[in-house]
Structure 1
């Protein structure tokens, strides 16, 4: 018996000790793996924005696009927009934004359904989202071709849409982006009805995000129409909205921002974690005559 005990005392690899050591090591590795996975796990949240770029016209002088383009791109990068619906962008402006690494866009020109005229483009991060399909239609009685609608006077108005897949969550959803007419009362009211009809036709019951310059204040019939099917992200935000309510400043730093005309709408069930109207300026100049609006959301 004494020899057997002596042998066990001299052997550090006895079965009981080895099992205990193995359990300790596996437990430590498990904790490390869990901690690493928790730290590195990608978020299923993302930022969606709407931004009227103000078209590129030389008559804007120091506020014309060549003087603003880098500020616009810097704002999009710094605030980490993952999806942004832009309005009024002409082909050259759209190309400038496409030059941002990791971004692509969908959307056609309102004058010919190709490149001519202003766009209601949807820009998205290609590392985060896969594009599955996309299309365009006009805000008119003939939405399948370039056209003015109802009592609109100056120009065609176009809406663009995209079906995207979020690579993080694997979820599919639709983004619609639009620019309502600024003159026709009937055109704005009918455009809201058309938007909801097209959303039903195109997206069915899938999750929808709708961004745009609606040229309409919250008390108007057309905004109330949009809210019959979608939620206003400002009102749905879990945190109090950040920044002013008004979104049109006409390049004036001292603007009282009397009108809120830019919106983000989301399907019921989408979590709006926070919402902001951004007042960034560079050297006492706004990057556009509209303020960008951004919401952080989580898909259902």
Structure 2
């Protein structure tokens, strides 16, 4: 009888220890280069499938996904559903920014997307292309297991204009605050910025002890290749750069962070390596240290 009681207690403790945990990946599905006959989507797709099978993430924020890729990704990820906005159409090229999530683990409470340019926030695309705007898909999710409610924002910063990126970053943070309020927030994305850039400093600025977002790789208790450039340019010499990040606010404990250098023979998983984090919801929020800065969107 006592042995059975021990087994029951162990099972309850084990279940509780895993409750409220999330495994999140950000993955840019990659550029298509006409002259590259090796790293085609068809050659890379089996590598992508095996990678996600091995990782078994709860949530995937993807960038540079068109309808062709979305259909093939949904086929190789049968345990997942995806979130895209209702304003998409077949003419969209590499602009879907889907959020894949495990169907049996989460309920969707809200979803949409918006666009940011140097001039402001756009709720409808209005005939603009990726090199003119930044794309953000977002959703409010509820964990079926633990009941936690949180927001995820999946970002593709497409432009390459430092001055406008700074404005866009401030507008993005403002919109996150408007939508998520005081809730837990996860941000996945391809930002095309390094940690020395002004854009990066704005995004992770310490404007609130609990609600401002931080780079999960800086918070992780363990990790691998955390400072390794996620953009690999399919091995083109001298082109590697930092690009892909996962940010979280103070509702999360970051257990592990990794940049996955996936390559099979001469075929890369993408010209962007995926980045993953293991998170756990905190019962008591973690207070951010350091000086408080001015709200980055005050003048926007």
**TM-score normalised over the length of structure 2:** 0.82
Equivalent position of 2:134 in the other structure: 157
How far 1:148 sits from its partner (Å)? 8.2
**Partners of 2:106 and 2:142 within 8 A in 1:** yes
Structure 2 CA distance for partners of 1:50 and 1:222, relative to 1, 3 Å: same
Indicate which of 103, 106, 122 corresponds to 1:143. Answer: 122
Equivalent position of 2:72 in the other structure: 96
- Answer yes or no: is 1:47 the counterpart of 2:26: no
- Answer yes or no: is 1:107 the counterpart of 2:90: no
| Inter-partner Cα distance in structure 1 for 2:23 and 2:122 | 30
Indicate which of 220, 223, 230 corresponds to 2:200. Answer: 223
Equivalent position of 2:179 in the other structure: 202
| Inter-partner Cα distance in structure 2 for 1:262 and 1:87 | 10
**Structure 1 residues 260-286: Cα deviation after superposition (integer angstroms, max 9, x where no partner):** 111100012310001000012112321
Larger radius of gyration: 1
- How many residues matched? 270
Equivalent position of 1:268 in the other structure: 250
**Structure 1 residues 214-246: Cα deviation after superposition (integer angstroms, max 9, x where no partner):** 111111111111112201001111124445521
**Partners of 2:136 and 2:153 within 8 A in 1:** yes
- Partner secondary structure for residue 60 of structure 1: coil
How far 1:207 sits from its partner (Å)? 0.4
**Partners of 1:129 and 1:165 within 8 A in 2:** yes
More helix by share: 1
Indicate which of 275, 281, 284 corresponds to 1:299. Answer: 281
**Structure 1 residues 173-203: Cα deviation after superposition (integer angstroms, max 9, x where no partner):** 0000111124222331122112101101111
Structure 2 CA distance for partners of 1:176 and 1:47, relative to 1, 3 Å: same
How far 1:255 sits from its partner (Å)? 5.3
Which ranges of structure 2 fall in alignment gaps of 5 or more residues? 206-211, 283-300
**Partners of 2:85 and 2:111 within 8 A in 1:** no
Indicate which of 25, 43, 55 corresponds to 1:79. Answer: 55
Out of 119-128 and 30-39, give the one that drifted further.
30-39
More strand by share: 2
How far 1:129 sits from its partner (Å)? 1.4
Equivalent position of 1:193 in the other structure: 170
Out of 234-243 and 137-146, give the one that drifted further.
234-243
**Partners of 2:121 and 2:171 within 8 A in 1:** no
How far 1:58 sits from its partner (Å)? 4.5
- Answer yes or no: is 1:134 the counterpart of 2:117: no
- Partner secondary structure for residue 36 of structure 2: helix
Structure 2 CA distance for partners of 1:64 and 1:122, relative to 1, 3 Å: same
**Deviation above 4 Å: which 4+ runs of structure 1?**
39-42, 55-59, 254-258
Equivalent position of 1:4 in the other structure: none
Which ranges of structure 1 fall in alignment gaps of 5 or more residues? 1-24
**Structure 1 residues 25-63: Cα deviation after superposition (integer angstroms, max 9, x where no partner):** 4x3432232234345554431211111111456543221
